Amino acid sequence: MKKVFSILLLLALAFGIVACNNDPEDPNDPNDPNDPVDETASFSGVSDVTIDFGVVFDPYNGVSATDSVDGAISKDDIEVSGAVDTSKAGTYTLTYTVTGSDGKEVSATRRVTVRTEDGQVPEPTEIVIMHGAPYEVDPFHADFSGTEQQARQAEQREVEDRLNVKVVYKAYPASAAWGPSRVTAIINASVAGDPLADIYWTTSDWIQQLADGNAIASVDQYMFTHGENIHPDYVEVGTYANKVYGFGANNLTVDVGLYYNADLISNLGVDNPSQLFLDGQWTWSVFEAWATEVQTAVSALGEDYYALGGVPSNYAESMVPLNGGSLINATTGRVSFAQTPALDTYTFLSDLWSKGLFEPGGAYDAGSPLWQTGKVALHPGSLWFVNADNRWGGIEFELGFVPYPAADDYTGGYVSPISGVAIYNVASGMTPEREELVFQVWNELQLWKTEQELQDEFELTLLTRFDDEIYVEAYLEIYDKVYLELINAIGISAYGENGWRSNVNAGIREGTARTNMDRIKPIYEAALEDYLN
């Protein structure tokens, strides 16, 4: 089914013709066992307030807490964090915390605004968010490319009015284009006492350098108040040295997979890879047999046709975990790319290479001219490549999608590595009050969604990327099966002399993967120890 299906389903979901609620139960049913249980403790009177300059302010005035089992809670048992200085006009944050009879801690936050000496509300606090492409996130930008623009504009106006702030989006300067130059610029500005912004848009791979350079602040102390909506996936990728430095909105999704020339596959008459996956047959042995059949068929079309494109390291990075292994295990803190699951994966890919199934001149990302012109059947890539002008947006053949194959004896679920995740950080060097305000503002600007809403949105995204329902179906089977991979985060250049990617590429092509991995393993272990400590 082609583009017509995608458009019709897109419209159906957009106008509510297709039901998105899979729960047939009454959402108001008090006996529903799936409903969350409320905490016994609760607050009243914790509301934002504006007070005069120089007055005596009692943070407990008007505030009370009760327990549904034990009744009124003494004010002595209510903890208040934060402070209000009425001799300085501005807006302050107070967090109230109490523990109920059920043992659960409950928190509530209020803003206290102190007027100026002449009775005026102080000028809004400017909150600067620095991004590589502000038009992607600034809902008031003339070229805004994000979603739900009107809702985001309304949310920002409400937050600015309520918290007396002004949100400003700025682009990174040309001298901080990307990578090392951006990291260096952020650190140098912090050292000079003049941070580039209050919030930085960076990647998870830079957290170690930015944190060690004292350029970003931990947000641990706010995670159970302002940051309670942040998904555990982001907490994991944003954590360094047991502190949370990075965060993002909603959830993380699988970004990488195998894309194939659907027109070529159809013309060759071989099995559709997406269907093989959906039928539970997409194993290494089936993948090898499929690639061999494709190579035999395309060889009749010319000498420069190949079954597999790209570079071996892309395949290895995603296939090692589907053989029960990992490269650098974030949970155990061990370098694992020289262990048996990884070595067996390299051997399997090396066999495919020696059989001539890979194009000899494969390239990363956009791929080689052979892939771009339709002479390679299958290529690794990311979802955003599909419509990016500098990747595959200009490709003239239909792109199909299939997840990576799993080893024949693998019994676990699908998992896909994530690294270099786009995240946000709070700049260091602020007062505690401003730091908390900055983090609160960022969180309240987000349009937080339920898991079902996130899946529905992701499905709509897939429908705009692919021409056939089967590709969408295959992607949705694995779309949220992610795990954190540290191979790119510990400070070793992936493509340098000692980099995993360059060494595994050479090892798979030359049959020396074990030797190469044994040589670089101590280098990675030392870097990992520094990273973890």
Tell whether 139 is covered by a domain: yes
pLDDT at 162: 87
Tens of pLDDT, residue by residue over 353-376, are 999 999 999 999 999 999 999 999
Q: Is 148 found in the same domain as 60?
A: no
Tell me how long the chain is: 533
User: Is residue 516, in this structure, part of any structural domain at all?
Assistant: yes
CA distances from 192 to 102, 168, 182, 429 (A): 48, 22, 15, 11
Contact 62, 68 (CB under 8 A): no
Distance of CA 68 to the CA centre of its chain: 39
More confident residue, 528 or 5: 528
Predicted local distance difference test score (pLDDT) of residue 493? 86
> Do 234 and 223 reside in the same domain of the chain?
yes
Instruction: Express each pLDDT in 409-455 by its tens digit.
Output: 999 999 999 988 999 999 999 999 899 999 999 999 999 999 999 99
Summarised one tens digit per residue, pLDDT across range 243-270 is: 999 999 999 999 999 999 999 999 999 9
Measured CA to CA in angstroms, residue 188 lies from 130, 196, 214 at distances of: 16, 9, 10
Asked which of 87, 114, 141 is the last residue of a domain, the reply is: 114
Question: Quick one: pLDDT at residue 491?
Answer: 84
Q: Which two tokens stand for residue 278?
A: 């959906």
507 and 368 co-located in one domain: yes
Q: What is the pLDDT of residues 486-527, one digit of tens each?
A: 998 888 988 899 999 999 999 999 999 999 999 999 999 999
pLDDT value for 193: 96
Residues 505 and 528 in one domain: yes
Q: Mark whether 515 and 380 lie in a shared domain.
A: yes
Q: How many CB atoms lie within 10 A of CB 403?
A: 24
**pLDDT > 90 in the chain, percent:** 78
- Own/partner pairs, 303-306, CB within 8 angstroms, 24+ separation: 304/370, 304/375, 305/370, 305/375, 305/376, 306/356, 306/357, 306/358, 306/359, 306/370, 306/375, 306/376, 306/377
Handedness of CA 83, 88, 93, 94 (dihedral sign): positive
Q: Identify the pLDDT of residue 494.
A: 86
Query: Within this chain, do residues 396 and 265 fall inside the same structural domain, yes or no?
Result: yes
> In sequence order, what are the residues at sequence separation of 6 or more whose Cβ sits closer than 8 angstroms to the Cβ of residue 442?
127, 129, 199, 247, 424, 426
Helix or strand or coil: residue 489? Answer: coil
The residues, ordered by sequence, that sit 6+ positions from 376 with a Cβ below 8 Å of its Cβ are 261, 305, 306, 307, 308, 309, 359, 367, 368, 370
In whole numbers, what is the pLDDT of the chain averaged over residues?
A: 90
Q: Is 132 helix (H, G, I), strand (E, B) or coil?
A: coil
Decide if 337 is inside a domain.
yes
Q: What is the 3-state secondary structure (H, E, C) of 43-99?
A: EECCCCEEECCCCCCCCCCCCEEEECCCEEECHHHCEEECCCCCCCCEEEEEEEEEE
| For residue 303, pLDDT beyond 60 | yes
Rounded Cα distance, 463 and 457, in Å: 10
pLDDT reported for residue 11:
38
In angstroms, what CA-CA distances link 531 with 280, 334, 340, 419?
39, 12, 24, 15
pLDDT at position 219 over 70:
yes
The pair phi, psi for residue 30, each rounded to 5°, is -70, -15
Residue 155: how many CA atoms within 13 Å on its side-chain side?
A: 16
Would you place residue 174 in the very low, low, confident or very high pLDDT band (cuts 50, 70, 90)? very high
Residue 355 forms part of a structural domain: yes
Whole-number percent of the chain with pLDDT over 70:
93
In a domain, 28, yes or no: no
Please indicate, yes or no, if residue 432 is contained in any of the structural domains. Answer: yes
Q: Could you say which of 82, 114, 146 is where a domain stops?
A: 114
pLDDT score, position 37:
59
3-class secondary-structure state, position 428: coil
Q: Do residues 95 and 166 share a domain?
A: no
User: What is the spatial distance between Cα 231 and Cα 253, in angstroms, rounded to a whole number?
Assistant: 12
Indicate whether 172 and 187 sit together in one domain: yes
- Say if CB 524 and CB 328 are below 8 A apart: yes
**What's the domain count of the chain?**
3
Model confidence at 15, in pLDDT bands (50, 70, 90)? very low
- Same-domain pairing of 494 and 514: yes
Cβ atoms < 10 Å from Cβ of 342: 25
What is the domain extent for residue 137? Answer: 125-253+421-456
CA 169 vs CA 126, 434, 439, 523: distances in Å: 10, 17, 15, 40
**For position 183, which CATH number holds?**
3.40.190.10
Query: Is residue 451 in a domain?
Result: yes
Q: What is the mean pLDDT of residues 235-249?
A: 94
Q: Residue 530: is its pLDDT beyond 90?
A: no
The verdict on 234 and 144 lying in the same domain is: yes
Cα–Cα dist 287/257, whole Å: 14
Q: Mark whether 168 and 261 lie in a shared domain.
A: no
Phi, psi of 216 (to 5 degrees): -130, 155
Report whether pLDDT(210) > 80: yes
Nearest to 333 by CA among 486, 111, 511: 486
Do 144 and 262 share a structural domain?
Answer: no
